[in-house]
Amino acid sequence: MPGSLGNWLIFAGIILVVIGLIAKTGLLGWFGQLPGDIAIKRENFQVFLPLTSMIIVSITLSLVIGLLRRLF
């Protein structure tokens, strides 16, 4: 299968474009503002730790990758 890496790269690119379009429309405005996302704002610095958001991303990616592995 010499073209399988190319196919995966094309698939990944399409997914990134779709996510970019969704983010541009503002449908992901809630992302990063969930309970459990830590934002510390002081006079001279800011720290943002999106813990809950990253857990959701991790679970979603695990489910998608598991589904793809079962299908292919």
- What is residue 38's predicted lDDT score, i.e. its pLDDT? 92
Average pLDDT, integer, range 58-64:
92
**Cα separation of 49 and 40, whole Å?**
9
Q: pTM score > 0.85 for this model?
A: no
**Cα separation of 26 and 14, whole Å?**
19
Average pLDDT, integer, range 48-69:
90
- What is residue 2's predicted lDDT score, i.e. its pLDDT? 61
Q: Of 45, 40, 41, 19, nearest to 31 (Cα)?
A: 19
- At residue 49 the predicted structure's pLDDT band, cuts being 50, 70 and 90, is very high
- What is residue 48's predicted lDDT score, i.e. its pLDDT? 92
Average pLDDT, integer, range 55-64:
92
DSSP state string for 11-24 = HHHHHHHHHHHHHH
